[in-house]
C-alpha cells in the first residue's frame, strides 16, 4: 500500500527566506505527483502537478521536483511571503487498479512565514 | 460563484442521527470524490464516482453511503452517525482523464456529539 510522508509537520520561517518542503512515498510506480495548498476553512488548491516522466515543474516562485527512483519530491518556495502561510500537501496517483489508483495524500506541512 | 459547492459548511449533530452532506459542481466534470480529513492525517478517500451509473468504494467507506443524483451532484450520507466520524469532509471533481488536478470544495466541518 502506498504511503506518503511529509516532514516536517510544521515550519516557521522569516519573510524573504527560500525554503524547501519535503514529500516521500513508498511505491515509485506512480502516474503523477501533485502539490496542493490548503488555507484555513478552505479546500485544497492545486499548485503543481508533475507527471511521472517529468523531473520538475515551475510556477512563479514555486518549483517542484520529482525523483521517482528515490521516492521523493520537494517543493521549493523562493522569497517567501506571509501570504504563503498555509498547509502544503503532496499527493501521488499510483499505477494500480480500483480504489488504490486514486490519490494518496501526505498529512501536510503547516508553513508560517513571519513578517 | 464557487465551482464546487458543499452544503452545509458546518454541522453539529448527535450520535445516531442520519446526516447528508451535499456537493454540487459547475465544472462539467464527470468524476466526483468524497474525502475526509482528520487532524494530523492526510485526506482519505471515502467514495468516488466516474459517472452517474458508477459508484466505487474508497479506502474508508464503512459507515457511509453515497448517491450520484446527476452529473453535477454527489451526496454523502452517514446513516447512523458516530463520534469518530467527526472530521472535515471534502468533495472534489476531476475531468474524464483523471490526469489533471482535482478541484475541491471548501469542506464541511462535521461534529458528532
The dihedral through the CA atoms of A102, A84, B38, A6 has a sign that is: positive
Q: Taking an 8 Å Cβ-Cβ cutoff, which residues of chain B contact chain A?
A: 4, 33, 40-45, 48, 56-59, 90, 92, 98-107
Residue B1 has pLDDT above 80, yes or no: no
A100 against B14, higher pLDDT? B14
Query: DSSP assignment of B70-101, as one string?
Result: ETTEEEEEESS--GGG-EEEEEEEE-TTS-SP
Q: Would you state the pLDDT for residue A2?
A: 87
Nearest to B11 by CA among B103, B113, B79: B113
Q: How far apart are CA B108 and CA B90, in angstroms?
A: 7
Residue A70 has pLDDT above 60, yes or no: yes
With CB atoms and an 8 Å threshold, state whether B106 touches A106.
no
Q: Would you state the pLDDT for residue B80?
A: 95
Residue A100 has pLDDT above 60, yes or no: no
A65-82: average pLDDT: 97
Distance from CA of B100 to the nearest CA of A (A): 8
Q: How far apart are CA A75 and CA A73, in angstroms?
A: 7
Cell 513571519 belongs to which residue? Answer: A114
| B83 exposure class (CB count in 10 Å sphere: 0-12, 13-18, 19+) | exposed
Task: List, for residues B8-50, the tens digit of each pLDDT value.
Answer: 999 999 999 999 999 999 999 999 999 999 988 889 999 999 9
Contact A44, A37 (CB under 8 A): yes
Cell 499505477 belongs to which residue? Answer: A95
Residue from the list B58, B92, B106 with its beta carbon closest to the beta carbon of A99: B58
pLDDT band at A47 (very low <50, low <70, confident <90, very high): very high
With CB atoms and an 8 Å threshold, state whether A99 touches B100.
no
Nearest to B23 by CA among B41, B39, B38, B35: B35
Indicate the average pLDDT of chain A: 93
Question: B38, B43, B59: best mutation site toward chain A, by most A Cβ within 10 Å?
Answer: B43
Residue A78 has pLDDT above 80, yes or no: yes
Residue A97 has pLDDT above 70, yes or no: no
Q: Would you state the pLDDT for residue B31?
A: 92
With CB atoms and an 8 Å threshold, state whether A41 touches B107.
yes
Indicate the average pLDDT of chain B: 93
With CB atoms and an 8 Å threshold, state whether A43 touches B107.
yes
Of A27-41, B30-44, B77-91, B92-106, the least confident = B92-106
% of chain A surpassing 70 pLDDT: 96
Amino acid at each position: 500500500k502506498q504511503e506518503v510522508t511529509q516532514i516536517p509537520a510544521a515550519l516557521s520561517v522569516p519573510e524573504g527566506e527560500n525554503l524547501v518542503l519535503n514529500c516521500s512515498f513508498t511505491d515509485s510506480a506512480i502516474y503523477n505527483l501533485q502539490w496542493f495548498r490548503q488555507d484555513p476553512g478552505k479546500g485544497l488548491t492545486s499548485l503543481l502537478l508533475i507527471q511521472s516522466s517529468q523531473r520538475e515543474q515551475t510556477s512563479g516562485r514555486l518549483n517542484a521536483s520529482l525523483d521517482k527512483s528515490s521516492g521523493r519530491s520537494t517543493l521549493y518556495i523562493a522569497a517567501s511571503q506571509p501570504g504563503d502561510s498555509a498547509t502544503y500537501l503532496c499527493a501521488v496517483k499510483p499505477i494500480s487498479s480500483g480504489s488504490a489508483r486514486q490519490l494518496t495524500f501526505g498529512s501536510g506541512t503547516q508553513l508560517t512565514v513571519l513578517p | 460563484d464557487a465551482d464546487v459547492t458543499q452544503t452545509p459548511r458546518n454541522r453539529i449533530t448527535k450520535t445516531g442521527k442520519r446526516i447528508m452532506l451535499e456537493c454540487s459542481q459547475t465544472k462539467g466534470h464527470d468524476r466526483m470524490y468524497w474525502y475526509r480529513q482528520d487532524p494530523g492525517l492526510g485526506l482519505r478517500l471515502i467514495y468516488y464516482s466516474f459517472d452517474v451509473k458508477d459508484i466505487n468504494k474508497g479506502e474508508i467507506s464503512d459507515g457511509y453511503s453515497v448517491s450520484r443524483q446527476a452529473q453535477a451532484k454527489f451526496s454523502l450520507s452517514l446513516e447512523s452517525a458516530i463520534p469518530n466520524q467527526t472530521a472535515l469532509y471534502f468533495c472534489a471533481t476531476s475531468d474524464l482523464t483523471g490526469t489533471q488536478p482535482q478541484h475541491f470544495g471548501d469542506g464541511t466541518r462535521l461534529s458528532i456529539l
